[in-house]
Structure 1
Amino acid sequence: MADFFRGRRLRRTAALRELVRENEVRAQDLIMPYFVVDTDDASFRKPIGSMPGQYQLSLQEFEKQVGAAVKNGLRSVILFGIPKTKDGVGSEGYADDGIVQKAVRLCKQRWPELVVVTDVCLCEYTDHGHCGLLRKENGEVTVENDATLTLLARTAVSHAKAGADIVAPSDMMDGRVLAIREALDEAGFDNIPVMSYAVKYASAFYGPFREAAESAPQSGDRKSYQMDPANSREALREATADVLEEADFLMVKPAGPYLDIIRMVRDEFDLPVAAYQVSGEYSMIMAAAQNGWINGDAVAMESLLGIKRAGADLIISYFTEDFLARGLVK
């Protein structure tokens, strides 16, 4: 009888390792983000400097890009819009002919089976770059919570009217899931699920995204409404509130630095859990790979597996399109 554990027996060959593999990343687990620009230049395709391989796209270029990705097995997208004009109330975010609304209609006309998720927030559409309406009081500028809810709900309904399959509020205003749920139901969209950015931290990992979406705050920061990275118990309070407000998915953002939070949410709730592998996570891997310091494909896949292993059912990742194109996920 052996006097110690022989774990290497199950790791001896690639076939054995695959046979006993506990987690894998599949095409249906991944959601690809796109940045669509409202422009008259049909050929507009602008590289995002801090995110190698990612672009701001005109509607026409977006159509080409998604069409190729669908042929490679793309199942789901999440859309972010960059409007022609911005104002203090983010009106282009809920305009019937807004850029996200146009992109949603295009997707559903061209690829009816593609799952289209829309980001519901005001930061990309406001001239001040905050996720809600601003109020000045005693010389101090604050984001007004309750007044913002009406506009977020209006945005979600406009996305549903355009054909979105899922709306995903990312603003972190208190009560926004309930406001959106009630507005969707009242408008006859009771079948449209809400994927709440339930646990969204005020993270330094968002830097490249703010270049991509042109959504950096013009003053101050978002620490008064996004979560403190030092906190974990607070995550369960936020997620519980969204469950009570009838969220259909719970999202944790960012993903990699918050694997413990993904696990907490997974263990506490039985709703589908999504995780957003954010721009900073992507950019760091890409930069190190381009410098030859790491094997980029291997590190990216390991990071995705870590997110799955922590308990995420779905992952929003900028690696999605490329990995599908090269057959690294199927």
Structure 2
Amino acid sequence: MAFPITRLRRLRGNEVTRNMIRETQLTRNDLIMPLFVRPGKGVQNPINSMPGNFQLSVDLLVEKCKELYNKGVQSVLLFGIPEHKDEHGLVACEHNGIVQQATRAIKKELPDLYVIADVCNCEYTTHGHCGSIINGDVDNDSTLITLGKQSVSLAEAGVDMIAPSDMMDGRVGHIRKALDDNDFSNMPIMAYSAKYASAFYGPFRDAAESAPQFGNRATYQMDPANSNEAIREVELDIFEGADIVMVKPALSYLDIIRKVKDTFNIPICAYNVSGEFSMVKAAAEKGWIDENRITLEILTSIKRAGSDIIISYHTQDIIDQLK
């Protein structure tokens, strides 16, 4: 029926009716807060390109987690900055690696906080790439061995979920087998399945001290121009045993989130990355935008596109507004 019989504004005129028919609900259950942990005690290094975020020593990380948990944050994603690095990232596999230490400390104080560990080598290698370098490029198959060892070590430390972000071919299957062979068959894997070689990662590389020392990551992260390739990547990760698949970044890739959602019956996570976060913060500092409204609109758009879970640095700022 057409106007004047049909008037869509009828259900917009009252907050009660607007709430009744709201199609997309953003809740605390949807959000994961990323955190950065480094060696030392009493260390709180501000990340200048990511206002309100810090590199924290284990003791202060635990206090931060308590603060977040008391606000209603149910899950954190940990990134480590090690005391020393090596050519292959083997430091990430050590029993007393920085994320392993942090996980044990968090679980001792907050056993119900859900801890996800990012699995990659870029923070742990001297060259800043995501795996072992052979003939000037990241070697896929030798990197898988390190990723498997790292995943098992993190599982032994008590993490609740493994999240491989390296974009090596076959890494989900290799990690799944490594976990299963070490009695961690119930450990879920959240794969960074469609991770693009994006310019939006700049602030993160400051935070994680992981900028590549030569070249770039275009030989293993995806071309931002490609959509069908994302479906192939996701399909392979599902086949290899991924329990959740991820699209990263989020805002310039909402179409990819929707395409994955429409194609596969699997939970989807989207990473609202550092550059997306920092642009909002910079504009808010200038007084150009309403930060809270913009943040809620952005996160709602990511969920509306089809994401079930959102990793976002906005989590700590917006959690109080969500039920």
Q: TM-score, normalising length from structure 2?
A: 0.98
Q: Could you list the per-position Cα deviations for residues 193-247 of structure 1 after superposition, in whole angstroms to 9, with x for gaps in the alignment?
A: 1100000000000000000000000000000000000000000000000011010
Q: Aligned to 2:304, what secondary structure does the other structure show? A: helix
Q: Tell me by how many angstroms 1:5 deviates.
A: 2.5
Query: For 1:180 and 1:163, how far apart are their aligned partners in 2?
Result: 16
Structure 1 match to 2:261: 266
Q: Answer yes or no: is 1:303 the counterpart of 2:306.
A: no
Matched, 1:226 2:227: no
Letter in 2 for 1:117: I
Q: Which one of the candidate residues 190, 196, 208 is aligned to 1:195?
A: 190
Letter in 2 for 1:190: S
| 2:22 alignment counterpart | 21
Alignment correspondent of 2:322: 329
Q: Could you say which residue in structure 2 is the equivalent of 1:75?
A: 74
Contact residue 296 and residue 318 of structure 2 kept, 8 A:
no
Gaps of 5+ in 2: none
Deviations 1:65-91 (A, max 9, x none): 111111111100000000000110112
Amino acid at match of 2:230: A
SS at 2:36's partner residue? strand
Does 1:145 find its partner at 2:144? no
After superposition, give the CA deviation of every residue in 1:84-126 in whole Å (9 maximum; x if it has no partner).
0011011221111001001111122211111111000000000
Q: Shift of the alpha carbon at 1:3?
A: 3.4
Q: Which amino acid aligns with 1:61?
A: L
| Alignment deviations for residues 243-275 of structure 1 (CA, whole Å, 9 cap, x no partner) | 110100000000011000000111111111000
Q: Counterpart of 2:270?
A: 275
1:128 aligns with 2:127: yes
Q: Aligned partners of 1:93, 1:46: CA distance in 2, in Å?
A: 21
Matched, 1:92 2:96: no
Specify the code of the residue in structure 2 equivalent to 1:94: C
Report % sequence identity: 53
Aligned partner of residue 46 in structure 1, secondary structure: strand
| Selected match of 1:251 from 233, 246, 255 | 246
Residue of structure 1 in register with 2:169 after alignment: 174
Q: What residue ranges of structure 1 are gaps of 5+ in the alignment? A: none
Could you tell me how far apart the structure 1 residues matched to 2:157 and 2:266 are? 26
Letter in 2 for 1:16: T
Distance 1:94 1:285 in 2: 35
SS in 2 for 1:157: helix
CA distance in 1, matches of 2:144, 2:42: 36
Aligned residue in 2 for 1:103: 102
What's the Cα RMSD here?
Answer: 1.0
Find the aligned partners of 2:302 and 2:5 in 1 and give their Cα distance. 32
- Partner of 2:7 in structure 1? 6
Structure 1 runs, 4 residues or longer, greater than 2 Å off: 1-5
Using the TM superposition, name which of 220-229 and 104-113 deviates more: 104-113
Distance of 2:295 and 2:60 partners within structure 1: 26
Deviation at 1:64, TM superposition (A): 1.0
